Chains A and B, each alone.
Chain A
Amino acid sequence: MNNISILYCLCLAGFILASCGGGLQSHKSLPKLGHRDIIDGDTIFHKVPDFNFTDQYGHEVSPKSLNGKAFILDYFFTSCPTICPRVKAQELRIFERYKDHPNLSIVSVSIDTKYDTKERLNNYATKLGVNNSNWHFVTGDKDMIYDNAVGFFHTAIENKDAPGGYDHDGKLVLIDKDRHIRGFCDGLFPEEVDDFFDDIENLLHEYK
């Protein structure tokens, strides 16, 4: 009996120490999220699918064009009546902090490939006060956008009965320069975005 309680105390102390240790470290390393395979003893982590978009200035946005930058990716559309304006208000907080950062971009992918032309996206970005190519508002091949959604941890479904005609979510997904997903949050909730700032800082620390 006595032994068990000593063991219990030791475990508890261990836990407390471990959690404090985590707190003392100023930069924790972020996990690589998603499905993983182990091949010949090597772990192969999930990578977001390849992509090739066009942004509000007509520039290509692809892993190649982002060349070594981490990025935050979300799905939206300009005429979205429900969650998008609230998510955009939160993304503006991130943009304001990192708009001139050499290692971080934001990529907002429109799922309304019919209506959201390059011109409309440009107009939307301008009205949002974004006139800087660190935040790309992009369009692209419809199948690529829809088929790849899951690989980006997003959902995108055309649905006549949904408000505005599309079902989607307000996630912000943090992707590193090797296309691994390193964190995400629900952009509808300011408190989640507060924590997401820590993830961003931790990831950018890897690039120092």
Chain B
Amino acid sequence: MKNSYLIFISMLLITLSCATQEYSQGRELYNYYCSSCHLESGQGLRSLYPPLAKSDYLAKYNETLPCIIRKGLEGQIIVNGKDYDMPMPAMPKISAFEITNIMNYINHNFGNDLPFVKFVDVKAKLEECK
């Protein structure tokens, strides 16, 4: 009886400690793939690199984000009322799993409160993008 209490409590602690380190995999991947341009806190850099923090563009095109990451983005865009026009390079080798983790990290950090995304949906979306 005593033992099962202990097990229960340690399970609880493990879950809690994981919950406080939200999307730590996504953070690692973000730092590796994206932070060089969008910077650590998603703040972007002046008019060169747009912010991901509280970006209206990110909110509006959240469903197409898997394609943006895989295929890159070109041409003028407007983010939070400011013009940006520099190509974002494609990342042909990035996996659906990595994209899912990155998206969940940025969707729930930098002051963003955007939907949780599922691996199956990201994978399906990637098959659609041209």
A residues near B (Cβ < 8 Å) are 79, 81-86, 88-89, 92, 124, 126-129
Contact = CB atoms under 8 A, between A and B. Distances in A.
Contacts of B45: 85, 88-89, 128
B89 interface: yes
Chain B interface size, under 10 / 10 to 19 / 20 to 34 / 35 or more: 10 to 19
Interface residues of chain A: helix, strand, loop or mixed (majority): helix
Contacts of B36: 81-86
A129 B46 contact: yes
Contacts of B49: 85
Interface residues of chain B: helix, strand, loop or mixed (majority): loop
A81 B48 contact: no
B37 A128 contact: no
B13 to A, nearest CB: 34
Given A84-B36, A85-B36, A92-B46, 15 more contacts: A79-B87, A81-B89, A82-B36, A83-B36, A85-B45, A85-B48, A88-B45, A89-B39, A124-B48, A126-B47, A127-B86, A128-B45, A128-B47, A129-B46, A129-B47
Contacts of A128: 45-48
A85 B47 contact: no
A117 to B, nearest CB: 15
Contacts of B89: 81
Contacts of B46: 92, 127-129
Interface in B17-65: 35-37, 39, 45-49
B30 to A, nearest CB: 14
